[in-house]
């Protein structure tokens, strides 16, 4: 059984490592073809609207959601089968998949996006509580990082006071969250 768990952790770690890479690459490539896009006027999902012909952006969102889901299995096993935090993060990954499956202007898109942007920081808050209580300094630091992601998520809507678009608040939540996964992914592979 230990060999199977090690394989799961390694695969999960790889998924965690490539999460931010795929996200940044997909945003970068989409921006090259979306000269109309404004960080202060749009949502990131606007790049996946079918009328703009950038459907690959939606496929990348689905892929990122799948990678995040696989990553949560490694979290589960590395945390001595602690379920609550990894489960909430797994649910948010399913919502992220829904964001890609139901691109704007589909009315389901807003529901999936809202559930993701609620569940993702809640998952990090729960993980932060668990990790901060651990003895190893790495876990404590990852717990603090998870709390920072939660604080960023809570504060990021303040950006909407100045600009109508939600792309910046979305990126402020996603990039630190995905980099947290990258760092923990490296841990999963090494340990």
- Per domain, the residue ranges of the chain are 2-190
What is the DSSP-derived secondary structure letter of residue 191? -
pLDDT for residue 1? 58
pLDDT digits (tens, 9 = 90+) for 146-183: 999 999 999 999 999 999 999 999 999 999 999 999 99
pLDDT digits (tens, 9 = 90+) for 72-113: 999 999 988 778 999 999 999 999 999 999 999 999 999 999
**No. of H helices and E strands in the chain?**
6, 0
pLDDT digits (tens, 9 = 90+) for 41-77: 999 999 998 888 778 999 999 999 999 999 999 999 9
Neighbours of 63 (CB within 10 A): 18
pLDDT for residue 51? 85
Where does the pLDDT of residue 13 fall: very low under 50, low under 70, confident under 90, or very high at 90 and above? very high
In whole angstroms, give the CA distance from residue 117 to residue 92: 8
Assess contact for 150 and 119: CB atoms under 8 A.
Answer: no
pLDDT for residue 2? 76
């Amino acid at each position: 059984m230990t060999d199977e768990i090690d394989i799961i952790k390694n695969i999960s770690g790889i998924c965690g490592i490539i999460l931010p890479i795929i996200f940044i690459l997909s945003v970068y490539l989409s921006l090259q073809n979306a000269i109309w896009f404004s960080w202060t006027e749009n949502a990131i999902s606007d790049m996946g609207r079918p009328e703009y012909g950038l459907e690959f952006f939606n496929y990348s969102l689905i892929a990122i959601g799948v990678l995040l889901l696989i990553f949560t299995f490694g979290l589960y096993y590395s945390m001595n089968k602690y379920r609550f935090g990894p489960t909430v993060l797994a649910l948010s990954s399913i919502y992220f998949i829904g964001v890609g499956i139901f691109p704007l202007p589909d009315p389901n898109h807003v529901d999936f996006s809202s559930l993701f942007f609620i569940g993702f920081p809640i998952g990090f808050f729960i993980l932060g509580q668990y990790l901060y209580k651990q003895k190893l300094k790495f876990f404590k630091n990852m717990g603090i990082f998870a709390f920072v992601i939660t604080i960023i998520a809570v504060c990021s809507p303040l950006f909407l006071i100045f600009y109508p678009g939600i792309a910046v608040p979305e990126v402020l939540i996603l990039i630190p969250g995905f980099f947290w996964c990258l760092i923990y992914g490296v841990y999963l592979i090494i340990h």
